A and B are shown apart, each in its own frame.
Chain A
Amino acid sequence: MNHEKVIEVKDLVKKFGSFVANDQLSFTVYKGEIFGFLGANGAGKTTALRILCGLSKPTSGEITVGGYNVQKQSEKIKQNIGYMSQKFSLYEDLTVVENMRLYGGIYSMPIKQIKARTTEIIQKLRLEKQKDSLIASLPLGIKQKLAFSVAVFHNPGIVFLDEPTGGVDPLTRRQFWELIYEEAHNGITVFVTTHYMDEAEYCDRVSIMSEGRIVALDTPGNLKRQYNVQSIHDVFISIARPGGIGV
């Protein structure tokens, strides 16, 4: 694995009043890695993710994303990352091509490059017939794959995916992850949060957050060995309910 560091987090703390949402988080993400960021709802994942994307400032800590400091260079961070979430991705009332032109423009890409990338993505996803269709008219599976392609439209070094495959059918979910694999293979670093435990297994390394802290960070294989279980799902349960599920 590549050892170039693209995200460095040291002692990240985020407080809201007296509530500590992120409690001394420290970790490093390497170039080309698929890094899974897991944790129960309320554990502090979204708070940390927003800080890494340059959307909010930490209370304290040394954090750089793509070489840019989160405290002083958040605008630079935003220009050099991609982001996709289940809640928001593409504009439903614009066409496929219009969305790409919009995102290309937002990232200040030259027109020639926008056109080249548009053609590339349409060919790759076989959307020649649908390129002038409104996003709202496309099936969910195609929307997902397109949203990911648009998130990396400007060829950022890092892409943040916030629960990108919620509710999607099994075939589309896998096709989506194959897109991720391909991009990671080409050098993009992928930072992904998910509630699908099998997707955690697709990651090179996984961190698990609980109550504001990182309680586990390793490859899926090592975590399963450490907790002596067969799946990341069971690792999760072992951490969150050490006594077992006793309802």
Chain B
Amino acid sequence: MITVSNIKKTFDSVIACSDITFEVKPGELFGLIGPDGAGKTTLFRILTTLILPDSGTALLDGHDVVKGYKTIRTIIGYMPGRFSLYQDLSVEENLEFYATVFGTTIQKNYHLIKDIYTHIEPFKKRLAGRLSGGMKQKLALCCALIHSPKILVLDEPTTGVDAVSRTEFWHMLRKLRKNGITIIVSTPYMDEAGLCDRVALIQNGVVFTIDAPHSIIANFRKCLYAVKGKSKYRLIKDLRASPVIDSAHVFGDAIHITFADDKPEINLVESYLKENGHEGFSISEIPATIEDYFLQWSLAETT
């Protein structure tokens, strides 16, 4: 459904997109996962025909982003990174406007947005500018869906939004897949990667992994352990000072550690920590997450 081949884009001396190639299958929920500045928004602006690539090609439903831009604009629904609906129109008025611009009506495709719209319908007369972050998101998604697009392009739809709204939003996205819509979404939140069918991990303009989340995790080659205990600050310092430990980083309420030469010397670490005055700690082997994978890749890149 989406074919990206060797897309390159540079702004002055900054390489925003460096030889990006990947495919998105019809009906897939595809995630582009990476931090700010990775190149996600630039790539999405190329795919939505807003800017031209320096080289490379991209096809959406068989149409080229350069030559077929007019057709592409009728078959995609786009949610850009910043809220871009009309702040001084009401919820209802915004939806009406987008339906009209695409030559359709709210009634015609109401079934597509119904599950989402019911959350904001009580506020339909409220000006869009007065909605909370989570509600703005839901409205923007409705406006992107109202003309029944084949492809949804969502650029960081959950950034800056609270955890509850984020979870709800992803529930809505997964439900949309049942309607056969192909969805490509970008996010800096690694935990959201697990909710996609497949993901592309991107950093500094380079896509370095493309796979299903469970496959990426299965390919995490090192032994990974979680250390839980009091005084995390001292724990981390002491763990890093140990010659048997390769890396130690905080992950929520634990410290994730990998071992030098990938040899888990648990007993050695336990006695070492006790010698350094640590008590009441635990060390257990854990499965990796996408964030562990991304972190290890970043560490390898910086050394």
Contact = CB atoms under 8 A, between A and B. Distances in A.
Interface residues of B, number: 42
A171 B251 CA distance: 11
Contacts of A171: 249, 295, 298-299, 302
Contacts of B34: 169
B291 interface: yes
B232 interface: yes
Contacts of A109: none
A41 B134 contact: yes
A197 interface: yes
B175 interface: yes
Contacts of B189: 196
Contacts of A104: none
Nearest to A180: B233
B132 A168 contact: no
A56 interface: no
B38 to A, nearest CB: 8
Interface in B185-219: 188-190, 203
Nearest to B14: A137
A163 B251 CA distance: 18
A21 to B, nearest CB: 13
A71 to B, nearest CB: 29
Interface in A181-217: 181-182, 184-185, 195-198, 201-202
Nearest to B175: A247
A40 B132 contact: yes
Nearest to A224: B253
Nearest to B253: A201
Interface string A48-78: 0000000000000000000000000000000
Q: What bracket does the count of chain A residues touching chain B fall in?
A: 35 or more
Contacts of A30: none
A247 B163 CA distance: 15
A42 B133 contact: yes
Contact of B159 (A167, A172, A185, A201): A167
A168 B36 contact: yes
Contact of A174 (B35, B115, B250): B250
A236 B164 contact: yes
A221 interface: yes
A202 B250 contact: yes
B115 A170 contact: no
6 contacts: A168-B35, A171-B299, A201-B253, A237-B163, A237-B164, A245-B164
Interface of B: 34-38, 115, 119, 132-134, 156, 159-168, 171-172, 175, 188-190, 203, 232-233, 236, 249-253, 291, 294-295, 298-299, 302
